[in-house]
Amino acid sequence: MVKQQNKPVAGVMWMVMTGVMFIAVTAIVKHVGEGLPAAEAAFLRYALGLVFLIPMMKPIRDAHLSRRALKLFGLRGVVHTLGVTLWFYAMTKISIAEVTAMNYLSPVYVTIGAALFLGETLAARRIAAVGFALLGALIILRPGFRELSPGHIAMLGTAVMFAASYLIAKIMADEVSPAVVVGMLSIAVTVGLAPLAWAVWITPTLAQLGWMFLLACFATAGHYTMTLAFASAPVTVTQPVTFLQLVWAVLLGAMFFDEGFDGWVIFGGVVILASVLFITWREHVLKSAAVKVPVPDAKVKNKSS
């Protein structure tokens, strides 16, 4: 296992770059818009990105995955496929800021799922943080005060699916290398998206293929810089930087997609992110306390006395 470095500045900078990459992904999906069906656009993103898996083929072969591991990776492929499809669909229906803000719900669902399925303790403070995050989602959606778009419902489903995918990845990360986890996800999602894309297939233009390949490049780079951020500094240092994604999403939507400015979306996103930061901080505190095992003082007795 590679020991985490104590380089907070580097960690923050890598996470800033991660945010830029992921916002670029969002902008490309928004730009392509409804020109391609959501399932087809998602399939092209993963299929064209398979070129980045070439260095991962040997670790996957050498892993000699068990039947259980293959089933878990298959299950992750299913839930991630649904999540990606819903995310691409939501991008064509609601603003970039709403998509970004509601995506902050995924770590909250991970916390709930870890308690339900992995046996982790869900203390009162974390329950309160989850409650505040759900309140943030209600602030964004404002049911009864405005009409909810299918895109909003899709994003709620996206966050649940991505949370399930993360939980399975968390299980497998203790058994195989990160290259295997990432590589198997890309393969499984490409396979899972293929029949969905085939059902709605329209022949893409060369320009659309170019945009999808660029999207794959940005997405791959984003996951790589995020890994570098986690390796450089604790999550409690890098996680707050993700708020910048919401800022950039608002600016991007206003400047290039005529989406305007919705203060309620920003406020709700801040509430959700604050809850996520609290949960992250609490996990860091609990882990730090767990590794501090008291060592009794060694008392050497002089037998000759």
pLDDT, averaged across the chain:
83
CA 276, 179, 81, 251 torsion-angle sign: positive
Q: pLDDT value at position 39?
A: 92
- Using CA atoms, how far apart are residues 202 and 215, in angstroms rounded to an integer? 19
CA atoms within 13 A on the CB side of 142: 13
pLDDT at 122 over 80: no
CA atoms within 13 A on the CB side of 278: 18
Contact 82, 196 (CB under 8 A): no
Q: How many percent of the chain have pLDDT more than 90? A: 28
Q: pLDDT value at position 68?
A: 93
Q: How confident is the model at residue 305 (pLDDT cuts 50, 70, 90)?
A: very low
pLDDT digits (tens, 9 = 90+) for 142-176: 876 777 889 999 999 999 999 899 888 888 877 88
Question: What are 5-11's contacts with CB under 8 Å, separation 24+?
Answer: 5/231, 5/232, 5/233, 6/233, 7/232, 7/233, 8/232, 8/233, 8/237, 10/228, 10/232, 10/233, 11/229, 11/230, 11/232, 11/233, 11/234, 11/237, 11/238
Whole-structure pTM value: 0.79
Segment 175-192 shows an average pLDDT of 88
